[in-house]
Amino acid sequence: MRHTRQPGMPYPRLPLPDGEEDLRAFQRWLEAAIPMVEALGITHMSQANGALTWQLALTPNLNDKGTGFGGALTAQTTLQGWCWVTLWLRQQGRAQDVVVAEADQRFLAPVTRDYRLICTPSHPEGPVQLADKLNERGKGSIELTHQLYCGDALCLEAHGRYAVLPNA
């Protein structure tokens, strides 16, 4: 369901899942909630073992040299981290807002073909610590790591800290 977006008007939340998350439905909601998402070339999302993995098409993210545009890749890592935290919260039965607090990236090699982007907690204890903070204070943050691969080659590594805001 598409809504006309207006600045300053929040997009309606996706209802919390009753059981396992439908990542296709989540992606459709995401494309409607954040208009630029549809242009980012996400072809598939999956979750396993605490990781959120995206398959992405290079073509919509080309730069003038015919390789991946750094700004698009940076936007993808930031969005993926936001999605990781949002999906994690949804699994916990929580509907809270998430924002990026800090982000950085290192470009290691040109992105020359379709690629995959993997997001995981930077520290194994991160999700447990976030859950504890949310239960104690209603807010918290988590550090995530993103790795972008073309085949077996690591082309980009990014880190971000994502904050979960208290309910209004």
Q: What is the mean pLDDT of residues 31-42?
A: 93
pLDDT at 4: 67
DSSP 35-80: GGGGGS-EEEEEEETTEEEEEE-SGGGB-TTSSB-HHHHHHHHHHH
Q: What is the pLDDT of residue 34?
A: 93
R_g over Cα of the chain: 16
What pLDDT score was predicted for residue 1?
47
pLDDT in tens, 39-54: 999 999 999 999 999 9
Instruction: Please name every residue paired with 106 in a beta bridge, in sequence order, or none if there are none.
Output: 157
And the tokens for 133?
């903070």
| Dihedrals phi, psi of 146, to nearest 5 degrees | -120, 135
Q: What is the mean pLDDT of residues 85-98?
A: 96
Burial class for 66, CB neighbours closer than 10 Å (0-12, 13-18, 19+) = exposed
Q: Alpha-carbon distance 126 to 124, whole Å?
A: 6
Q: For 113-161, how does the pLDDT look when each residue is reduced to its tens digit (9 = 90+)?
A: 999 999 999 999 999 999 999 999 999 999 999 999 999 999 999 999 9
Residue 66: what are its φ and ψ, rounded to 5°?
A: 85, 15
Report the predicted TM-score, pTM, of the whole model to 2 decimal places. 0.94
Domain extents for the chain? 43-164
* pLDDT score, position 6: 80
Q: Which of the residue ranges 1-5, 15-19, 77-81 would you say has the lowest mean pLDDT?
A: 1-5
Residue 156 β-bridge partners: 107, 148
What is the percentage of the chain residues whose pLDDT exceeds 70? 97
Residue 53 burial (CB count, 10 A) = 17
CATH code of the domain occupying 43-164:
3.10.129.10
Residue 99, pLDDT above cutoff 60: yes
The H-assigned helical ranges of the chain are: 23-33, 70-91, 126-137
Report how far residue 82's alpha carbon sits from residue 97's, in angstroms, rounded to the nearest whole number. Answer: 10
